[in-house]
Amino acid sequence: GVLRTSGNVEIQAIGAGAINQAIKAIAIARGFVAPSGIDLAFVPAFQEISINNEERTAIKLIVGPRKKRS
């Protein structure tokens, strides 16, 4: 998948329901890739986007493998 080839995935969500579903999807994906040794983590960020010429604030979730601490 995209995560294995590029290293990171970005998810954009607008609204509480969409953000909730996106975080649930990350939790499911974390369980899916864990057996192959990948520990997923995400960083949330605000992002301004334009929909039908109207500015909206979205949440961007940057998902990728957790870096090992030394």
Residue for token pair 């940057």: 62
pTM, full prediction: 0.83
Give φ, ψ of 60 to 5 degrees: -105, 125
| CA 49/CA 19 separation, integer angstroms | 15
According to DSSP, residue 62 is labeled E
Looking at residue 1, what is its pLDDT?
66
Looking at residue 15, what is its pLDDT?
95
Looking at residue 69, what is its pLDDT?
67
Query: Domain residue spans in the chain?
Result: 2-65
Q: What is the pLDDT of residues 25-51, one digit of tens each?
A: 999 999 999 998 899 999 999 999 999
pLDDT at position 58 over 90? yes
62 neighbors 2 (Cβ within 8 angstroms):
no
CATH number for the domain formed by residue range(s) 2-65: 3.30.110.20
